Structure 1
């Protein structure tokens, strides 16, 4: 399934135009899923906080450390207790970036964005001709679990293709739900 990018969408740091929910047109009917992963652009109000460009898997270590530092920097002091959200985000970012490095075309672009209540990870590769798919038949130690982990750990997960890139994004809460309940 392919998406036609919005003609009036603004390019991001990668030169990629991002369609809005209102302007995204599907080329195959009203379908909104690909292997159970919802086709959806990023939340409209997401503001970019950090960007990492990866060419090889050896850069994943720096991504993990930099992502933790960025999350700490961009977490409001009043809501500084994120519990395990940073660890979950690092795991999902690593898995999605590894998938992009392994199955997509370089460079892999990882972005940290923020809405009012969520952090959003956006991982892009430069192969918009393929769709992300869940693997159901591999053994547990056989890899291919990045999308499953993203769906299990994130509030919401989606993907879209625009111009020369394919993006998979995952949203995480800024405020720890346990902290709000107390």
Structure 2
């Protein structure tokens, strides 16, 4: 199934409440993102040993969603940028906030893909749910990735 990432809409709605592990980062620059992504990958790997995530592809999609939302906030939002990841039995939630409360997330529509700007559409296509809200003079953009039941191994593997 092909998804047109430029046609994904971002509705103003609160994120789901996820109970479980919560990790937070204060982001000042896109230069931090590789290290934060590596740290998050390690945390997901550690927690997955105790409570398996459905598969590596799920984690990679979530890491991509995290990276896109964080880099968008750093490039287009106001500082400080805060990122929060919640890992629960329901799934993974990424919330990224910045001080540009009056600037809603605006996916690129009708733009030549070579010009970039498709990150929000990509996140919307990857996530089970997504949205944004304003809270205490900050904009919070979020994406939720629902966990699937781990694949069961058959008798031969």
TMscore range, shorter length: 0.7 to 0.9
1:83 aligns with 2:66: no
1:143 aligns with 2:122: no
Deviations 1:94-120 (Å, cap 9, x if unpaired)? Answer: 111111111111111111113431110
Q: 1:64 pairs with 16, 30, 37, which one? A: 37
Corresponding residue pairs, total: 147
Measured at CA, do residues 181 and 167 of structure 1 come closer, stay the same or move farther in structure 2, by a change above 3 Å? farther
Q: Matched residues in 1 for 2:18 and 2:149: separation?
A: 21
What displacement does 1:176 show? 5.3
SS at match of 2:74: helix
Q: Spell out the pairing of 1:152-171 with structure 2 (5 A cutoff).
A: 152-171=125-144
RMSD value, Cα: 2.2
Q: 2:107 pairs with 124, 130, 134, which one? A: 134
- TM-score in terms of structure 2 length: 0.82
Q: Matched residues in 2 for 1:71 and 1:112: separation?
A: 10
What displacement does 1:146 show? 1.3
Q: Matched residues in 2 for 1:43 and 1:181: separation?
A: 31
User: Mind listing any 5+ residue stretches in structure 1 that lack a counterpart?
Assistant: 1-34
Measured at CA, do residues 76 and 164 of structure 1 come closer, stay the same or move farther in structure 2, by a change above 3 Å? farther
What displacement does 1:78 show? 5.0
Measured at CA, do residues 118 and 126 of structure 1 come closer, stay the same or move farther in structure 2, by a change above 3 Å? same
User: Mind listing any 5+ residue stretches in structure 2 that lack a counterpart?
Assistant: 1-7
What displacement does 1:67 show? 1.3
1:99 aligns with 2:60: no
Contact 1:55 1:108 in 2 (8 A): yes
What displacement does 1:80 show? 4.5
Measured at CA, do residues 70 and 142 of structure 1 come closer, stay the same or move farther in structure 2, by a change above 3 Å? same
Higher relative contact order (CA 8 A, sep 6+): 2
